[in-house]
């Protein structure tokens, strides 16, 4: 379960292939992100810290796997703690820009996800994360390769 909860957290906040605040995401955004093979997530960072959460989502045993990656234009180290407030899932990772972190996740019936981010630099920025999702029948795609464009 090492990299499991981050999968659903970030998939839930990855929308239609464009950065968007996590609190505005819906189940429809989650499903669109899954269909598209992932998307970019933006998390506002103030003084080196940021936090986002989702509303409770009906996830009905959703299984996800893929890759998350801090945008290569960032600097420093990123400590990411993700937890499911309605379940037992919890993950702590340390990520560096451009370095992929592979994950898999099986959700419960409902999930409410919270992400806390600490940056090694006490400044303001917007953290950009690529959340790539494996899609059945698409073995030609690499979920760790960020998609740029519209």
| Domain layout of the chain by residue ranges | 5-133
Please check whether residue 40 is in contact with residue 63, taking contact to mean a CB–CB distance below 8 angstroms.
Answer: no
CATH of domain 5-133: 2.60.120
What lies within 8 Å, CB to CB, of 137 at 6+ separation is: none
Tens-of-pLDDT digits for all 150 residues of the chain? 344 445 555 555 544 333 444 444 555 666 666 677 788 888 999 999 999 988 888 877 777 788 889 999 999 999 998 888 887 777 778 899 999 988 877 778 888 889 999 999 999 999 998 888 887 766 667 888 887 654
Please check whether residue 82 is in contact with residue 6, taking contact to mean a CB–CB distance below 8 angstroms.
Answer: yes
This prediction's pTM: 0.75
Sign of the CA dihedral running 9, 131, 50, 121? positive
- 143: its two tokens: 């979920």
Specify which residues 131 forms β-bridges with. 39, 68
Please check whether residue 86 is in contact with residue 9, taking contact to mean a CB–CB distance below 8 angstroms.
Answer: no
């Amino acid at each position: 379960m090492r990299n499991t909860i981050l999968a659903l957290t970030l998939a839930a906040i990855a929308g239609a292939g464009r950065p968007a605040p996590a609190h505005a995401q819906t189940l429809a955004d989650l499903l669109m992100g899954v269909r598209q093979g992932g998307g970019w997530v933006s998390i506002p960072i103030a003084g080196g810290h940021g936090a986002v959460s989702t509303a409770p989502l009906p996830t009905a045993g959703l299984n996800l796997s893929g890759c998350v990656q801090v945008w290569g234009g960032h600097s420093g180290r990123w400590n990411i703690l993700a937890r499911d407030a309605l379940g037992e899932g919890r993950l702590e990772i340390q990520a560096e820009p451009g370095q992929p972190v592979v994950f898999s996740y099986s959700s419960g019936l409902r999930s409410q996800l919270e992400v806390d981010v600490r940056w090694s630099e006490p400044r303001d920025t917007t953290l950009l994360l690529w959340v790539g999702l494996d899609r059945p029948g698409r073995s030609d795609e690499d979920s760790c390769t960020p998609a740029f464009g519209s």
